[in-house]
Amino acid sequence: MTQNSTPNVLFIMADQMKSSILRMYSEIGIETPTLERLADEGVRFEHAITPHPLCVPARTSVMTGRYPHSTGCRRNETLMPENEQHAFRIWKDNGFTTGLIGKNHAFVEQSDLDLFDVRCEVSHVGLPKDNRYKGANVGNTGMEWVVPEADINAGHEDRAALRKSGQSPRIAYKISDNPEKNFGTSVIATQTEAFLEKYAAGDFAATDSGEPDPFALWVSFPDPHEPYEVPRRYADMFPPEDVVMPPQRTDEYTDGTAPERNRLLAKVLRQTDDSEEHRRGIVSVYQAMTRFVDDGIGRVLDKLEELGLRENTIIVFTADHGDFGGEHGMAVKGGVFYDALVRVPLIVSWPAGGVPQGVSDDSMTNTIDILPTLLELQGLASFDGIGTGWARGGEHEDTVLSEAETRRMQGRPLPTVTSANARHAAFSEYGAGGPLVTMDILDDLPKPLGYETLIHTLWAREAEGRRKMVRTKEWKYVTDPMARGATLGSGSDGGPGDVDELYDLTKDPWELKNVAHLPENAGVISEMRSLLAGWMIDTEDPSPIEMPDSVGSTVL
């Protein structure tokens, strides 16, 4: 088929996939042939950090290139504001055929939903049934489901039940004999194949010149997010007895160094009372779900190549945030900043566009850098002198977005993929200024504690405090300005309060020892606080301030 000059975008996102579940990132990771193939055809970022380890804040930040404290999307209940500048508004305004297939959990305003030529939403427990679950919108746009809706819903009944009961006091999982084609991962792959076929056949809008409009497609897999369920074929690939469990420290939350919110989460989720078999079973199913997603992505990439679309398509793969997956003795996620939750895979591939192949970039990056990178590669914007579009004097040459629009984004183009300089630090945040959630809140909740406790306390834990994290390759520092003054003995359970966290990632890559209290680390903390202060100042304006175009006022 005829290729349009502006490259397409295939943006693939997994939900809750930590980087260390992949062999290419960790010695305990699994083989993922498709993602390894994609990395061989592009740039893999070793230290990609999510701006927020929670679904909505992470996703809206990726789509806007802005941190949650700027978008206002600090909780799963505060979705994309109306009229916000974001990826699909930019692409739609520039004539792209736009699509979303899979989990949304970002857009809810009708004016945003109308930007999608194709929108087919499915999430962890099937098709949206009503609009009470924000960010899961009923009904399709532009395409009907290839797999019958009744089959999709039937294929998710067991997952929905897992949220109510399970084989463990903590977290449940299931190995299923239901038809594989009805699982969300397969449904999304099938639907994406159909989208690409329709696009290649010219079924979507074409430009006046007769060339097809470029497409921007978000393929959003809801897995390997819990509820943990996987077809038996995939479970058989990862026997529990073969799982390499992450290192543990039994007294991590009892030796007086872990902040109260970390201890609270551990009390809810840590699987100390569960059998070794069950703990390994959860990790093995998480591994199997990851491999299932990898195979689904493989189907999409194969179809892209079969239809002759690969050469002119930029492919990005990432995840919104991670999952404990056995790290720190837990599964699922919570409002803390261990690498299991904030460090995600990130791959950018476009060989025909000059993006290097088979390269690993070990600088610090953030997923809010994805949108600026794509716009730079597509020639739609230029940032800080990167590329050819920037002219001195504050104007862009041959680009669509104005200087004010690019300044609105707080992310910047990724190094190696573009000519941008590498960054030394990456940042993440959590909380909306709400009151701190203390250990005594657990006293009145039903026992045993576990997944239902996690969900019951979610709204309060999402909102509590204003936690900030800065990570370099060597150190990670976490602090909460609202908890300033907390000490090692101020927690409501007699343990430490919301003390700072500092991890020496060179000596302790699994973050098992908080060393913020050690006097010899005072200089490191001072440096990390300086990095945080600089980041907070750099990103303090929700909207860019108009800049003068001359040194002084015009002389009449």
Calpha distance 340→7 (Å, rounded): 33
Segments making up each domain of the chain, as ranges = 8-249+269-426, 427-538
Whole-number pLDDT of residue 1: 35
pLDDT band at residue 556 using 50, 70 and 90 as cut-offs: very low
pLDDT at 211 over 90: no
In the CATH hierarchy, which fold is given to the domain comprising 427-538? Arylsulfatase, C-terminal domain (3.30.1120)
pLDDT at 395 over 50: no
Amino acid identity, residue 236?
A: D
- Dig out the tokens for 468 from the structure: 């900030």
- Dig out the tokens for 12 from the structure: 């693939």
Q: Once rounded to an integer, what is the mean pLDDT over residues 353-366?
A: 98
Whole-number pLDDT of residue 394: 38
In the CATH hierarchy, which fold is given to the domain comprising 8-249+269-426? Alkaline Phosphatase, subunit A (3.40.720)
Whole-number pLDDT of residue 389: 33
Beta strands in 143-238 (DSSP E): 173-176, 215-224, 228-231
8 A C-beta contact, residue 22 and residue 68: no
Whole-number pLDDT of residue 130: 80
Whole-number pLDDT of residue 12: 98
> Do strands 215-224 and 97-102 pair parallel, antiparallel, or not at all (unpaired)?
parallel
pLDDT at 488 over 70: no
Whole-number pLDDT of residue 273: 84
Strand partners, 457: none
pLDDT at 209 over 90: no
Q: How many other C-beta atoms lie within 10 A of the C-beta of residue 89?
A: 18
pLDDT at 343 over 60: yes
- Top pLDDT among 489 and 76 is at 76
pLDDT band at residue 337 using 50, 70 and 90 as cut-offs: very high
- Top pLDDT among 183 and 385 is at 183
Strand partners, 470: 427, 477
- Dig out the tokens for 94 from the structure: 């520039």
Strand partners, 44: 347, 360
- Dig out the tokens for 478 from the structure: 């976490």
Q: Once rounded to an integer, what is the mean pLDDT over residues 38-51?
A: 98
Q: Once rounded to an integer, what is the mean pLDDT over residues 132-140?
A: 86
Q: Which residue has the tokens 């819990």?
A: 226
Q: Which residue has the tokens 């995600």?
A: 344
pLDDT band at residue 485 using 50, 70 and 90 as cut-offs: low
8 A C-beta contact, residue 317 and residue 297: yes
Residue 495 makes CB contacts below 8 A (sequence gap 6+) with 254, 256, 258, 260, 263, 439, 489
Whole-number pLDDT of residue 399: 72
pLDDT band at residue 81 using 50, 70 and 90 as cut-offs: very high
Whole-number pLDDT of residue 392: 27
Calpha distance 436→485 (Å, rounded): 14
> Do strands 467-471 and 475-479 pair parallel, antiparallel, or not at all (unpaired)?
antiparallel
Q: How many other C-beta atoms lie within 10 A of the C-beta of residue 540?
A: 9
The distance in angstroms from the start CA to the end CA of the chain is 59
Calpha distance 366→64 (Å, rounded): 13
Q: Which residue has the tokens 């489901």?
A: 145
Strand partners, 216: 9, 98
Which has the minimum average pLDDT: 127-141, 210-224, 357-371?
Answer: 127-141
Classify the phi-psi angles of 308: left when phi > 0, otherwise alpha if psi is within -120 to 50, otherwise beta: left
pLDDT per residue as tens digits for the range 221-270: 999 999 999 999 999 999 999 999 999 999 999 999 999 999 999 999 99
pLDDT per residue as tens digits for the range 449-459: 999 999 999 99
pLDDT per residue as tens digits for the range 542-553: 777 777 767 776
Burial 5-21 (b: 16+ CB within 10 A, else e): ebbbbbbbbbbbbbbbb
Q: Which residue has the tokens 């999304």?
A: 188
Which has the minimum average pLDDT: 18-27, 72-81, 236-245, 265-274?
Answer: 265-274
- Top pLDDT among 542 and 525 is at 525
Residue-averaged pLDDT of the chain: 91
Calpha distance 223→221 (Å, rounded): 5
Q: Which residue has the tokens 């009708």?
A: 110
Q: Once rounded to an integer, what is the mean pLDDT over residues 505-509?
A: 98
**Model's pTM, two decimal places?**
0.94
**Phi and psi at residue 206, in whole multiples of 5°?**
-120, 155
Whole-number pLDDT of residue 108: 95
Whole-number pLDDT of residue 76: 95
Percent residues over pLDDT 70 in the chain:
91
